[in-house]
Amino acid sequence: MFKEKFSEGIISAKQFNREDLEYILSKGREMITIKNSNILNGKILATLFFEPSTRTRLSFESAMYRLGGNVIGFHSADVSSFKKGESIADTIRTVQNYCDCIAMRNPLEGAAKLASRFANIPIINAGSGSGEHPTQALLDLLTIKEESGTIDGLNIGIVGDLKYGRTVHSLSILLSKFEANIYFISPKELSLRNRYKAYLQEQKVKYKEVTKYRNILDILDVLYMTRIQKERFIDQEEYEKVKNTFVFNEDDLEKTKDTFKLMHPLPRVTEISPDVDKYTDKAIYFKQTGYGLALRKAILAELMSED
Ligand code: NCD
């Protein structure tokens, strides 16, 4: 059923209803304990990355190899025919002859959607400009579910660059399918765009917008920190003004509940002080990358396996 519903791939978090989420989270959980398998034997994933990546590309590739499949691809626009002026449409119409699924990251917000119009195999949006990054949000949910035991009823703070942060957009959409209370924390200039707020309002989500997290640290179950997206600023002076707005440190951690979890999609720049890293019961951002592998194995298996 998942395979049929997602036959065009995973383009936006909006494709998922609660049932789909429960299903993929349970499959993600299974993959935590299945290290290697050969269910994708003979299958090929193409990773087309027109923008930098460490975790997303490598975890997709590792997931594919762990399931017995193979990977082709490129990791920079400079080494693909994009450099010669080739369109996304032509790239997709070509690459789909060489593989069974495409994971693509591109600086254009509508790129994954456009790609899916020209593809006859599933496209996975691995980050589209400052739009969405749905598989990151799925792995964020898996992390919360496994580490906090539930998603419903939690107080979840999302802090940093809510305007340009694509992981924030997809995560907010997915959280709207649960009974979570969301606190959006950012300077005014980087607040969540109206189109996402309108979606959350439609879904009757309980959310608040604040500019500081320090006053609410004692009630939060999860704080999801994000990087200020330097590369999306048109004016670098504007970036300089906001770049150090939030720096989470050891003192902050002391004010949190015993069960509190600090997450981050990574890469981090200055927004979490390295002193916090050693508190691994609460600072779970590196553990989160491990859940990413499990979740991506689940996604690839669902989209490509024959049975
Ligand atoms: C994020 C991204 O690329 O959107 N990283 C990731 O995929 N884990 C977050 C970021 O770049 O800040």
Give the model confidence (pLDDT) of 97-156 as tens digits: 999 999 999 999 999 999 999 999 999 999 999 999 999 999 999 999 999 999 999 999
Among candidate residues 47, 56, 143, 289, the one labeled active-site is 56
Backbone torsion region of residue 80, taken as left when φ is above 0, otherwise alpha when ψ lies between -120 and 50, otherwise beta? beta
User: Does 75 qualify as catalytic in the annotation?
Assistant: no
> What was the pLDDT predicted at 6?
98
- Under 8 Å between Cβ of 167 and 13: no
Across-strand partners of 71?
Answer: 45
Query: Is the pLDDT reported for residue 185 higher than 80?
Result: yes
Distance from the alpha carbon of residue 276 to the mean position of ligand 1, in angstroms: 20
The residue whose CA is least distant from atom 8 of ligand 1 is 265
> What was the pLDDT predicted at 80?
80
Under DSSP, is residue 269 helix (H, G, I), strand (E, B) or coil?
Answer: coil
User: Does 193 qualify as catalytic in the annotation?
Assistant: no
User: Does 105 qualify as catalytic in the annotation?
Assistant: yes
d(CA 90, CA 261): 44
pTM of the model: 0.97
> What was the pLDDT predicted at 81?
82
Structure tokens at 306: 């024959």
Under DSSP, is residue 196 helix (H, G, I), strand (E, B) or coil?
Answer: helix
User: Does 133 qualify as catalytic in the annotation?
Assistant: yes
Q: Of 16-20, 85-89, 210-214, 248-252, which gets the smallest average pLDDT?
A: 85-89
CA distances from 174 to 68, 133, 140, 167, 180 (A): 30, 11, 10, 11, 10
Q: What is the mean pLDDT of the chain?
A: 96
Strands 101-106 and 44-49, sheet pairing: parallel
Structure tokens at 148: 């906090």
Distance from the alpha carbon of residue 229 to the mean position of ligand 1, in angstroms: 9
Beta strands per DSSP E along the chain: 9-10, 44-49, 70-74, 101-106, 123-128, 155-159, 181-185, 206-210, 222-225, 261-263
Query: Is the pLDDT reported for residue 79 higher than 80?
Result: no
